[in-house]
Structure 1
Amino acid sequence: MKVLSLFLLVLLCGQQSVLSQGQTEIWDRFEVSLKGPETGNPFSDVSLTAEFSNGTEKLTVNGFYDGEGTYKVRFMPQKTGVWKYRTISNSKSLNGKTGTFTCIGPKQNNHGPVQVADTYHFKYTDGKRYYPFGTTLYAWTHQPQSLEELTLATLKNNAFNKVRMCVFPKYYSGVENEPKFYPYEKKSQSAAANGRVKIVWDFSKFNPAFFQHLEKRIDDLKDLGIEADVIIFHPYDKGRWGFDSLGMENDLKYIKYLTARLSSFRNVWWSLANEFDYIKTKPREAWDIYTRAVIAGDPYKHLCSIHNGSVYYDNWKPEFTHVSIQNGSTVEDFGRAVLLRDVFFKPMVYDEVCYEGDLPQRWGHLSGEEMTAAFWQGIVAGTYVTHGETYKNAGDTIFWAKGGKLIGSSPARISFLRKILEEGPGPLQLADPWKDHKTATADSSYYLVYFGKEMQAEWTFSLPGKSGPSEKRNFQVEVIDTWDMTIKKLPEIFEMAKVENYRIFDKRRKSIRLPMKPYLALRITEVSNK
């Protein structure tokens, strides 16, 4: 019996054990960490995937090497209940590992990843509306820790819920510092003729510390309720590090590694590039290959876009969930923003419309009024706009590049607009896109009229007749000063007459007095007939 017991003990120890890993929230991150080979090149010599299953549902995800003999697989469960997993690897020490965990319901502030909703808009997975009010922080994760922490403190006290940010460091006017971490291991470094350090990289080996730091900052954004619009490639290298000219083979390895690490983060969006057409080392036809690689590496299908410089990409392709556009003219005046929306039939995010600041470049010196008006023009048209600030700040930092403090006048007004939008019954669209580019509607009981720079002493109450309210319905008007951030409710009640030449007027043709100021808006809501 002793011999038999010993034999059974040895047999059991030789089997792959099923490990219980506790509980993970739905849409949160479950992680398997395993020890494996360190010799050779673990990034290329060792393959690792894992199959997760919950009843009849199965999903295979890529694992990755995280340095110091540690391999990881991350999974974002999208269904509650008990999940099982089994690893598949060409390394015996990593192959066939099994385990279970229980996926529980979401806690407060966990609404899941953002998805497209109603063709032109967004929702979280749990159905909660999401309106993107983004800002730009290209190289904020490549700064000293104190500056990164100051950036997070700034974001905590502002209304921005999306951040456009680069993976690779950036070398450009306003951001020329060396980062603390680099994405690849160094082969060698030496002094260059220009006084800088010349570094030779081993593009076959990633630097896990770089990606661990990036992940920490993305989690920091998640804790603030902010989506990370992760820019995979950009043209702002200029030979400084060579990360913009890795060659397609290395580019695809980088995409596979990045998506294996980040796909399980619920607040990640993919932006294939910033100004893709300015990256001269990558031909236009390469972007389809890179896009498909991102989609293949992300089993959860996070939002995905590509951003242009001067030439638009093929945003109609199904791999792109929404459209990310650089074009300041689209939100300079009425009737422009809606045009591209009607071309692509996807959510339109005007991610670069120039920035509030005082740089000499034409893209870097919008006034606060102009930046705020750009947001209103986009929102009224049923589209969305991203902020950026280029004032020089303490320590010669610029928020758009490095982060830090916001000193511009538009963020408070943008926050005011976000509150107005979120108080409404739903996302907006133009009530009559053919003829009325100032009046937006969420439904026939709610309208928002924006006047922009126009000043007038009087406005005759009228609404677009197309799909407008029926006769005898009553409405009340609030005058919104979008700059002073005030809302004044007017006492008058307006009763709808019949449609007349595509417009619906008050039955007595009432008008309202307005202050002679620019940047006014009207919120018009239905009230009870009683």
Structure 2
Amino acid sequence: MDKLKYAAQVEKWDVFEIEIQGKAEGNPFTDYEIQGVFTGKNETVTVDGFYDGDGIYRVRFMPSFEGEYSFKVTGSFLEEEYEGGFTVTAPSKGNHGPVRVANTYHFAYEDGTPYYSIGTTCYVWNLQSDELIEQTFETLKNSAFNKIRFCVFPKHYDYNLGEPRSYPYEGTPMDSSVLTKENFLEYTGKTEGNHWDFTRFNPKHFQHIEKCILRLRDMGIEADLIVMHPYDRWGFAQMTKEQDALYWKYVLARFSAYRNMWWSLANEYDLFDHKAVEDWEGYAKIICEKDPYHHLRSIHNCHAFYDHNRPWITHCSIQRQDLYKSSELVNEWREKYQKPVVLDEIAYEGNIQHGWGNISGEELTRRFWEAACRGGYPGHGETYMNDKDILWWSHGGTLHGESYKRFKLLHDIMCETPGIGLRPYENSGWDEICAVPEETTQKMKKVKDYYLIYFSFMRPSFREYYFDDETRFQVKVIDTWNMTVEDRGVFKGKFKVELPGKPYMAIQIKKIQ
């Protein structure tokens, strides 16, 4: 068997992988190092490799330019160095590169294509059975979702009492047969009964997650990976700083080269009993050092916001703090943090006992439209009770609600925005939510090229508008719940738009060039 394997070419922003046979004695996860240096005409990138079991080491690289590249692989895992070369070809259709922050408050792929996030939360869908995972992919294929939040570690919480398909470490878990719906809280944070070697990863666990990430990538869906979370009965949330650091470096070495990666340091960071702010800052430092591609980075709250002004945070990942207000606060958060605002949890459509998981489809749809018109990016989740306790928010599978059916229309409308991104229009009336393109400012001319006006739960039967006497506008009326768009024609001067007098209506006014 050849010690060294790699492809002769790879497309731009794809994964170039080198596979090498190396030392397997001792503990290859900690005893040996492997590193790759990749050099092209426009970049030189140094990355860590990792041990993948069975004597195999891998080094992965995502090229950002086309052309010829060379590489050198070094480390104590072998007695020699390896060198080689490969060609980077043009990206294929649908490959726009990783998502970046654009226009301060928004996102675009690296090739400049705007990215409008329509996200969903599905914490451990990737750790379910093959059958349930396939159902999840089928549901995603038939939805508007282009981002999904999910975990590396399994999750212990209401409706999450089963064991995952695999574990991230070698060892054995506690006996879960003692768990019931009534006593599950007794086992939260417990470590007794678990027997893990936190210096030896289980490669099959990570290989499976990689397959999920690749399939998401090929579907045009960003993988918002939650690297740590507090809902734990296996001891993963109570690891030492040294164990955490080893875990972070392994995750970064394995996943960084995938272009659809986003790093979420934690789900509800403030519920960790054993971690302080300096711990999270330490993990952020590891990301900034070990991810040469600078994927998007965030940290998510339960009660108290992290300081989203920290320079390593690329965008705000927000869970609402108020029982009623969520999207209504986007203006405030934009002004405070000067970064994209992603509302990853604004309550879920469903009917469980918890207040975060029992709002209606109409209300979640309203929050989506209001957040978008205020210049933010809302997130979806669904928590409907069922006999098998399979809830989309955690397990994936199929969706039973109504809100997700309405998001494609919103995404289509967002994609019609001139330039990149919407922002709240300060000069609009107090009784409407009006968005204009982000690049327009108060210093520019009064008449804008584009207005998107949302009426939320208000029910006007008509609205009158006047911008000037000359500019011609195309006017459309949008029923955001019934998913209809009615072209009302071209207007100028003072004009009246008739409305049906029911909630969830919007008006799109676009200047005719």
Residue of structure 2 equivalent to 1:7: none
Q: Deviations over 1:136-188 (max 9, x none)?
A: 110101111100010000000000000010110001111211012110001x6
Residue of structure 1 equivalent to 2:162: 177
Asked if structure 2 preserves the Cα contact closer than 8 Å seen for 1:381 and 1:428, the reply is yes
Q: Give, in whole Å, the separation in 2 of the partners of 1:49 and 1:330.
A: 49
Q: Hey, which bits of structure 1, 4+ residues long, moved more than 4 A?
A: 16-20, 188-193, 328-335, 433-437
Measured at CA, do residues 269 and 459 of structure 1 come closer, stay the same or move farther in structure 2, by a change above 3 Å?
A: same
Quote how far apart the aligned CAs of 1:527 are: 2.6
Asked if structure 1 preserves the Cα contact closer than 8 Å seen for 2:151 and 2:228, the reply is yes
Amino acid at match of 1:123: A
Q: Give, in whole Å, the separation in 2 of the partners of 1:272 and 1:65.
A: 23
2:201 corresponds to 1:230: no
Quote how far apart the aligned CAs of 1:58 are: 1.4
Residue of structure 2 equivalent to 1:76: 62
- Partner of residue 430 from structure 1, selected from 424, 431, 440: 424
Q: Give, in whole Å, the separation in 2 of the partners of 1:20 and 1:318.
A: 37
Asked if structure 2 preserves the Cα contact closer than 8 Å seen for 1:18 and 1:99, the reply is no
Measured at CA, do residues 307 and 317 of structure 1 come closer, stay the same or move farther in structure 2, by a change above 3 Å?
A: same
Gap regions ≥5 residues in structure 1: 1-15, 464-469, 496-505
Residue of structure 1 equivalent to 2:78: 92
Farther off after superposition, 100-109 or 195-204: 195-204
Measured at CA, do residues 318 and 157 of structure 1 come closer, stay the same or move farther in structure 2, by a change above 3 Å?
A: same
Matches within 5 A, 1:189-228: 194=178, 198-228=193-223
Q: Give, in whole Å, the separation in 2 of the partners of 1:147 and 1:283.
A: 36
Amino acid at match of 1:292: K
Measured at CA, do residues 17 and 315 of structure 1 come closer, stay the same or move farther in structure 2, by a change above 3 Å?
A: same
Residue of structure 1 equivalent to 2:183: none
2:467 corresponds to 1:514: no
Measured at CA, do residues 182 and 357 of structure 1 come closer, stay the same or move farther in structure 2, by a change above 3 Å?
A: same
Quote how far apart the aligned CAs of 1:316 are: 0.8
Amino acid at match of 1:476: Q
- Aligned-residue sequence identity (percent) comes to 43
Farther off after superposition, 195-204 or 45-54: 195-204
Measured at CA, do residues 408 and 191 of structure 1 come closer, stay the same or move farther in structure 2, by a change above 3 Å?
A: closer
Amino acid at match of 2:455: F
Which structure: greater strand fraction? 1
Quote how far apart the aligned CAs of 1:189 are: 6.4
Asked if structure 2 preserves the Cα contact closer than 8 Å seen for 1:323 and 1:347, the reply is yes
Quote how far apart the aligned CAs of 1:19 are: 8.2
Matches within 5 A, 1:317-396: 317-327=310-320, 329=322, 332=325, 335-393=328-386, 395-396=388-389
Q: Deviations over 1:366-385 (max 9, x none)?
A: 10000000001100001110
2:313 corresponds to 1:309: no
Amino acid at match of 2:14: D
Asked if structure 2 preserves the Cα contact closer than 8 Å seen for 1:86 and 1:97, the reply is yes
Gap regions ≥5 residues in structure 2: 181-191, 441-447
Asked if structure 2 preserves the Cα contact closer than 8 Å seen for 1:20 and 1:99, the reply is no
* Bigger-Rg structure (1/2): 1
Q: Give, in whole Å, the separation in 2 of the partners of 1:34 and 1:403.
A: 36
Measured at CA, do residues 154 and 333 of structure 1 come closer, stay the same or move farther in structure 2, by a change above 3 Å?
A: closer
Q: Give, in whole Å, the separation in 2 of the partners of 1:87 and 1:343.
A: 45
Q: Deviations over 1:175-216 (max 9, x none)?
A: 211012110001x66758947993300001000000000100
For the residue of structure 2 that corresponds to 1:87, the secondary structure is: strand
Residue of structure 2 equivalent to 1:13: none
Measured at CA, do residues 378 and 113 of structure 1 come closer, stay the same or move farther in structure 2, by a change above 3 Å?
A: same
Q: Give, in whole Å, the separation in 1 of the partners of 2:324 and 2:137.
A: 28
2:459 corresponds to 1:459: no
For the residue of structure 1 that corresponds to 2:263, the secondary structure is: strand
Measured at CA, do residues 482 and 199 of structure 1 come closer, stay the same or move farther in structure 2, by a change above 3 Å?
A: same
Asked if structure 1 preserves the Cα contact closer than 8 Å seen for 2:5 and 2:20, the reply is no
Asked if structure 2 preserves the Cα contact closer than 8 Å seen for 1:326 and 1:350, the reply is yes
Cα RMSD (Å) of the superposition? 2.2
- Corresponding residue pairs, total: 490
Amino acid at match of 2:85: T
